[in-house]
A and B are shown apart, each in its own frame.
Chain A
Amino acid sequence: MIEIRFHGRGGQGTVVASKALADALMIEGKWVQTFPEYGVERRGAPVVSFTRIDDKRIYLRCKIYQPDHVVVMDPTLMEVIDVTAGLKSGGWVIINSGKDPSFFEVPDKFRVRTFDATSVAVKYGLGSKAAPIVNMPMLAAFSKITGFVGLKALLEAVREESPIKKEENVQAAKEAFEKA
């Protein structure tokens, strides 16, 4: 079983990203389970979302305390919360940022990558320039870097989960997948 934790801020589509990842993996024949941190979501506040993946039915029903990988939708969260809390050694930390991975102080036992999902989101008009919705390009980058999901299933899931601007989201995800 693989467990992934998503960190973002309310309004960035973090929960939808974890759901889209689950969709894509289901298309590829996996068992999946995805859920937000149970509570009250507010725009701008840090939010957490989880996805579990397995080859067999998932019976486990609790939060994820020791994820295999983490995705960080907003680089400013790196200073606010410990995104690597409980992260397993060797796990990916994939951060939405145009900066070099070395800019972020992440312990050596984790693998760090950055991807500038914000500029992709802005390019395709996802959200506003002040508050771009980075979830789909970020998910695409994650899929490419980890190799968990193929492009075909990913795009199908992105189309399914984008409430508006489906085509723009698909194009953004495609570009992010190629670039990452």
Chain B
Amino acid sequence: MTEKIDIKGEKDMPAMAMSLGLMDWNKTGSWRNLRPVIDYEKCTRCMICWKFCPDACILIRDEEPVIDYDYCKGCLICAEECPRDAISVVKEE
């Protein structure tokens, strides 16, 4: 992970807007109010969810789809597209 630069003023900045904000620190998962959850009993590992996720938040770990909740914004396209209805929707509390 890239170190977060403490920018107080122009002297701390590079010439261009470079790494002024990094996705390493900008955990967009906090925007989510509905959470997709994969039921691995129903899941056939077809990876359609992986293909459709617009934010590349479905990772492939040991040939299984795994949702990266640090960045998943809860758009639920994965749940919509899953042909086996293996992704359920849970309210974030």
**Does a CB–CB distance below 8 Å link A and B in the complex?**
no
Measuring CB to CB, which residues of chain A are less than 8 angstroms from any residue of chain B? none
Measuring CB to CB, which residues of chain B are less than 8 angstroms from any residue of chain A? none
